[in-house]
A = this chain, B = another copy of it.
Amino acid sequence: MAVYTELAAETLEAFLGTYEIGTLVSFHGIAEGVENSNFLLRTTEGDFILTLFERRVNAAELPWFLGLMQHLAGRGLNCPLPVSDRSGTALRILADRPAAITTFLPGVSATQLDAGLCLELGKALATLHLAGEGYEAVRPNALSASAWGPLLDSCGESGDALAPGLTAEVRAALQKIEAAWPAVDELPRGQIHADLFPDNVFFQNGQVSGLIDFYFACTDFLAYDLAICLNAWCFRNEKTFEPSFAAAVLQGYQSIRPLCEAEKSALPVLCQGAAIRFLLTRLYDWINTPADALVTRKDPLAYLLRLRHFADMKHV
* Nearest opposing residue in chain B for A41, CB measure: B108
Query: How many angstroms from the CA of A40 to the CA of B32 in the assembled complex?
Result: 12
Stretch at the interface among A2-10, A82-90, A138-146, A255-263: A2-10
* Nearest opposing residue in chain B for A47, CB measure: B42
Interface residue? A181 (CB, 8 A):
no
Given known contacts A28-B30, A31-B30, A202-B26, A108 and B9 CB-to-CB distance under 8 angstroms: yes
Stretch at the interface among A70-78, A109-117, A221-229, A297-305: A109-117
Name the B residues within 8 Å of A31 (CB-CB).
2, 4, 28-31
Interface residue? A294 (CB, 8 A):
yes
With beta carbons under 8 angstroms apart, the residue of B25, B108, B294 that contacts A294 is: B294
Name the B residues within 8 Å of A27 (CB-CB).
108
* Nearest opposing residue in chain B for A38, CB measure: B28
Chain A interface residue count: which class? Answer: 20 to 34
**Measured between C-beta atoms, what is the minimum distance from A101 to chain B in Å?**
16
Interface residue? A107 (CB, 8 A):
yes
Interface hits, A6-60 → B, CB 8 Å: 8-10, 12-13, 24-32, 40, 42
With beta carbons under 8 angstroms apart, the residue of B106, B110, B111 that contacts A25 is: B106
Interface residue? A168 (CB, 8 A):
no
Known: A9-B110, A294-B294. 4 other contacts (CB 8 A): A1-B1, A9-B111, A27-B108, A28-B32
